[in-house]
């Protein structure tokens, strides 16, 4: 039974990959073998019920194997031993890391089966998946459109019903924005909730491993498995991991939800604005109190983000030099020349652009003007949230300013592409958790999502709020491309 579930997922991944390009590697043999092992060792378990198709949950399994036989897809910038980790880049190509990321180790210990590695924007830099060296992922709702990014492959794999759960990484919205564009849930936890050990670093002070799923219970269970302190990542915090699945039920009487009116203005698609305002009405009906909040510095978040994220990236990506792993350029007889040629040939345009920008803002004479200034405004953005959360338990915003856009539409205009992240980057800058929840379809039948932002360590609250919404307004639509 477990084996069958995994086989179904692998077959779906294989069959739909021609259409979606969501997977860069599918490990049929390893996944089936692993499922058989789990089945054997937990012979007493009666079916995983893992929700391939139909959106069923991760029911069943003993306590020590809460995800027994659940097929999972993993973004190709998270290390899984025995599988590739290309990060969507030519410079890593078919690099095979010799170890598991901590989040993977924990998933495997909980019985989950990694069926494949998913396509993404190169080194997680992008909002459309068009920056992958291995071609863009297609949106299962309309294959002429982007699935969002950078974790577009993981998002598409869950939306298309291939797997019930997938992991991504979120540095400025790379889990929440694609979740919104393909109509699934996407969680970016509090900074320090999940280990980054084995996640290839983009911007270390912003990166967090995030979760995609089609229902809240699956997000809750997966978070419970992967979260918590890890000795291999000194930025993980010593904060207890609650049983997130236990606190999903219950009414919302007394809950206070913040509504930042000023964020519902320029640049926001009318249909998205309307859909998110309807969400507010649903919460009001559910008994929540809606309070007006202000985030006066939110408008500066993109500017701050593209200084800090690129500065950290320029440093983190210095390690890709053709010496210890990955690609090395040929015909470079001198060391420095070899570095430069390797990086020139190995990195794509967006990665080079960001390394250049990051190097520029950190270079002598500009550090104070750009980098230090951005870090100061980051403090102001954090303080905005601390102030807002004195008045409310969570804040509602759109996740992305528009539904999915066409492939090719924004490739020549980096700044326009960056503005996609306007509602999501603040959470990374402040370190707070954010959850994108599907809330309907546009007139063109494209998914729309809203975002819940909460104080540090408030994942349980966000999941409860999302669950209450989904009970009232279940998102049952399925894309045309579905397993």
Partner 1 sequence: MPITDADIAKVAQLAQLELAAEELKTFGAQIAEIVAYVEQLNELDTTNVEPALGGLTPEGEKTDSSRADEIAGSLGQKTALAEAPDPASGHFRVPKVL
Residues 240-269 that bind partner 1 (CB under 8 A): none
Q: Is it true that the peptide bond before 150 is cis, omega within 30 degrees of 0?
A: yes
For partner 1, give the closer residue by CB, 307 or 483: 307
Segment interacting with partner 1 (CB under 8 A) among 36-44, 123-131, 375-383, 460-468: 375-383
Sole window of 103-111, 217-225, 370-378, 390-398 interacting with partner 1 (rule: CB under 8 A): 370-378
- Dist. CA 403–CA 401, nearest whole Å: 7
Closest among 433, 434, 453 to 388, alpha carbons compared: 453
Query: What whole-number distance in Å separates Cα of residue 3 and Cα of residue 40?
Result: 10
Interactions with partner 1, residue window 406-425 (CB under 8 A): 414-415, 418
Binding piece for partner 1, criterion CB under 8 A, among 12-20, 21-29, 72-80, 186-194? 186-194
Q: Write out the binding residues for partner 1, residues 118-137 only, by CB under 8 A.
A: none
Tell me: does residue 143 bind partner 1 (CB under 8 A).
no
Q: How many Å apart are CA 133 and CA 349, to the nearest integer?
A: 10
**Does 229 contact partner 1 by CB under 8 A?**
yes
Q: Where are the beta strands (DSSP E) in 175-243?
A: 185-188, 208-213
Task: Tell me how many residues contact partner 1 (CB under 8 A).
Answer: 77
CA distances from residue 311 to 99, 181, 204, 274, 321 in whole angstroms, order as listed:
28, 28, 10, 37, 18
Single residue of 30, 341, 411, 482 touching partner 1 by CB under 8 A: 341
Which token pair is 80? 């899984």
Q: Can you read off the two tokens belonging to residue 165?
A: 């759960």
Which of 279/432 has CB closer to partner 1?
432
Find the part of the chain contacting partner 1 (CB under 8 A) among 142-150, 253-261, 330-338, 442-450: 330-338
Binding mask 281-300 for partner 1 (x = CB under 8 A): ----------------x--x
Instruction: Closer to partner 1 by CB, 187 or 302: give it.
Output: 302
Nearer Cβ to partner 1 (55/210): 210
Q: Shortest gap between Cβ of 92 and partner 1 (angstroms)?
A: 9
User: 333-347 b/e with 16+ CB inside 10 Å = b?
Assistant: eeeeebbebbbeebb
Tokens coding 197: 């050990």
Distance between CA atoms of residues 389 and 395, nearest Å: 8
Q: How far apart are CA 109 and CA 353, in angstroms?
A: 39
CB within 8 Å of 417: residues ≥ 6 apart: 126, 127, 128, 410, 411
Question: How far apart are alpha carbons 120 and 114 in whole angstroms?
Answer: 17
Is 278 one of the binding residues for partner 1 (CB under 8 A)? no
Q: Which residue numbers are catalytic?
A: 75, 150, 174
Output the smallest distance, CB 46 to partner 1, in A: 38
Q: For residues 263 and 423, is the Cβ–Cβ distance under 8 A?
A: yes
Query: Exactly one of 39, 142, 321, 384 binds partner 1 (CB under 8 A); which one?
Result: 321
71: tokens are 């097929």
Smallest distance, partner 1 to C-beta of residue 309, A? 11
Rg of the chain, C-alpha, whole Å: 21
Residue 375 touching partner 1 (CB under 8 A): yes
Which of the residues 345 through 364 are near partner 1 (CB under 8 A)? 347, 349, 352-353, 355-357, 359-361, 363
Residue 98, classified by CB atoms within 10 Å of its CB into exposed (0-12), middle (13-18) or buried (19+), is exposed
CB 310, min distance to partner 1, A: 9
Give the x-and-dash track for 448-477 against partner 1 (CB under 8 A): --------xx--------------------
Stretch that binds partner 1, among 24-32, 35-43, 266-274, 366-374 (CB under 8 A): 366-374
> Which of 15, 144, 251, 379 touches partner 1 by CB under 8 A?
379
H helix or E strand, kind and range, residue 441: strand 434-441
Only one of the segments 39-47, 158-166, 329-337, 444-452 lies at the binding site for partner 1 (rule: CB under 8 A); that segment is 329-337
Query: Which tokens go with 460?
Result: 């349980």
Please state the closest distance from residue 253 (CB atom) to partner 1, in A.
29
Cα gap 163→101, rounded to integer Å: 20
Q: Which of 9, 73, 377, 448 binds partner 1 (CB under 8 A)?
A: 377
User: Does residue 11 interact with partner 1 by CB under 8 A?
Assistant: no
User: Greatest CA separation found in the chain?
Assistant: 70
Binding to partner 1 (CB under 8 A): which residues in 206-225?
206
To the nearest whole angstrom, how small is the minimum distance from the Cβ of residue 457 to partner 1?
7
- The minimum distance between CB 331 and partner 1, in angstroms, equals 10
CA–CA dist 346, 87 (Å, integer): 12
């Amino acid at each position: 039974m477990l084996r069958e579930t995994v086989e179904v997922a692998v077959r779906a991944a294989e069959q739909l990959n021609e259409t979606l390009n969501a997977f860069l590697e599918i490990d049929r043999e390893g996944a089936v073998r692993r499922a058989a092992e789990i089945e054997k060792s937990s012979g007493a378990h009666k079916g995983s019920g893992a929700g391939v198709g139909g959106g069923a949950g991760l029911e069943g399994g003993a306590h020590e194997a809460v995800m027994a036989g659940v097929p999972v897809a993993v973004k190709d910038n998270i290390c899984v031993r025995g599988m590739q980790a290309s990060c969507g880049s030519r410079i890593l190509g078919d690099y095979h890391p010799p170890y598991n990321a901590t989040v993977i180790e924990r998933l495997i210990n909980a019985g989950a089966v990694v069926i494949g590695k998913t396509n993404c924007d190169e080194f997680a830099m992008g909002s459309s998946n068009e920056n992958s060296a291995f071609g863009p992922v297609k949106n299962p709702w309309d294959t002429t459109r982007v699935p969002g990014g950078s974790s577009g492959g993981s998002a598409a794999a869950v939306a298309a019903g291939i797997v019930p759960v997938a992991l991504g990484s979120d540095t400025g919205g790379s889990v929440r924005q694609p979740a919104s564009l393909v109509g699934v849930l996407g969680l970016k936890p509090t900074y320090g909730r999940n280990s980054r050990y084995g996640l290839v670093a983009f911007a270390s002070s912003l990166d967090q491993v995030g979760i995609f799923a089609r229902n809240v219970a699956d997000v809750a269970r997966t978070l419970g498995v992967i979260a918590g302190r890890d000795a291999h990542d000194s930025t993980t915090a010593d904060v207890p991991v609650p049983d997130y699945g236990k606190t999903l039920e219950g009414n919302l009487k007394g809950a206070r939800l913040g509504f930042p009116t000023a964020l519902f203005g320029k640049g926001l698609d009318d249909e998205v604005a309307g859909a998110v305002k309807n969400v507010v009405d649903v919460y009001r009906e559910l008994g929540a109190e809606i309070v007006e909040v202000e985030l006066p510095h939110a408008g500066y978040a993109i500017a701050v983000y593209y200084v800090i994220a690129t500065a950290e990236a320029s440093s983190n990506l210095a390690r890709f030099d053709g010496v210890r792993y990955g690609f090395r350029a040929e015909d470079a007889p001198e060391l420095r020349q070899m570095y430069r040629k390797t990086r020139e040939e190995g990195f794509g345009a967006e990665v080079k652009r960001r390394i250049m920008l990051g190097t520029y803002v950190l270079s002598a004479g500009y550090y104070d003007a750009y980098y230090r200034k951005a870090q100061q405004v980051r403090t102001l953005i954090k303080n905005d949230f601390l102030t807002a959360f004195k008045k409310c338990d969570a804040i509602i915003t759109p996740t992305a300013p528009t539904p999915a856009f066409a492939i090719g539409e924004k490739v020549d205009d980096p700044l326009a592409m960056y503005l996609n992240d306007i509602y999501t980057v603040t959470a990374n800058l402040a370190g707070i958790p954010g959850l994108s929840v599907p809330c309907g379809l546009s007139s063109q039948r494209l998914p729309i999502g809203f975002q819940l932002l909460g104080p540090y360590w408030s994942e349980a609250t966000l999941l409860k709020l999302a669950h209450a919404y989904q009970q009232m307004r279940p998102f049952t639509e399925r894309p045309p491309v579905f397993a």
